[in-house]
Amino acid sequence: MKTNILKTVMMGAAMLAVVSCKNNDDPKKKCEDEILRNHQTGLVAYYKFADGSLNDLSGNGLHGVLNGSVTKTTNANNVADCALRFGGTANDYVKVASNASVNFDGTTPISIVLWFKAEDPGSAGKYQVLFGRGEAGVGCSNIQGDFSLGLYESLKPIFGYNKNNVWDETLMGIDVYDYHLNKGWQNLIAVYDPTATSQWKIYRDGNMSDYMGGLCDIDMTNTGDIYIGRDFKGSIDDIKVYSRALSATEIDFMKSYVSPCCE
């Protein structure tokens, strides 16, 4: 009798182990999220788009609403349905309603981290919003609204905040159009640190640029909605916004970290 009970227990344990292994083999089941574990300080908004979810995982409730042609797609880790693909028009975006959590006064540190994969070569004067606060046409040609991280003209990454903007100038001397269209997924990190010598910085795949563009003489309002992917044709994933400047160690980590596809 005891032998049969022992066999039953052992078989049950073996079955649980098999189920556990299968779950661990599924990328969507792995939720060992290093961001929520070790990089949550100052986290204002966090979007992983797992299975198309528009939930903000920061705890601030900045959940998104889909508009237009936005579909689920494969992320930078080649996991299906774990990123969003945008149709490329002014009507294709995810919108987050205006919230005091993203009220920055122009002197507050800010960091934005995301992954993108471009499909449209861009055109003269075109700004493709990856993540920004404010309505289209509010701001200058290279800043949308209060702050924005996007691609300008020839898909050049640009970060604008508090009337200033910094450009990615790490690709000088090559065909930027072809580079971005053929590169696939790329990581972008934008940082404003008022205590630093170079206060505005942008990092593409870890390559830093602090090349400043022209001043945009329009005051911040702290009233606009947040837009993700407006006028952008391509894919976006793993957005993180912080109310502090990321450290060099964190930037080095996040330039290659793709969050697990789960909530």
How far is residue 151's CA from residue 38's CA, in Å, rounded to a whole number? 30
How far is residue 172's CA from residue 61's CA, in Å, rounded to a whole number? 40
Q: What is the pLDDT of residues 131-175, one digit of tens each?
A: 999 876 555 667 778 899 999 887 889 998 888 889 998 876 566
Q: What is the pLDDT of residues 105-126, one digit of tens each?
A: 878 999 999 999 999 877 777 8
How far is residue 193's CA from residue 109's CA, in Å, rounded to a whole number? 5
How far is residue 134's CA from residue 228's CA, in Å, rounded to a whole number? 11
The pTM of this model reads: 0.86
How many Å from the N-terminal Cα to the C-terminal Cα in the chain?
A: 44
Name the architecture of domain 32-254: Sandwich (2.60)
Which sequence spans correspond to the domains of the chain? Answer: 1-30, 32-254
CA 38 from chain centre, in angstroms, equals: 18
Tell me the mean pLDDT in the region 12-28. Answer: 40
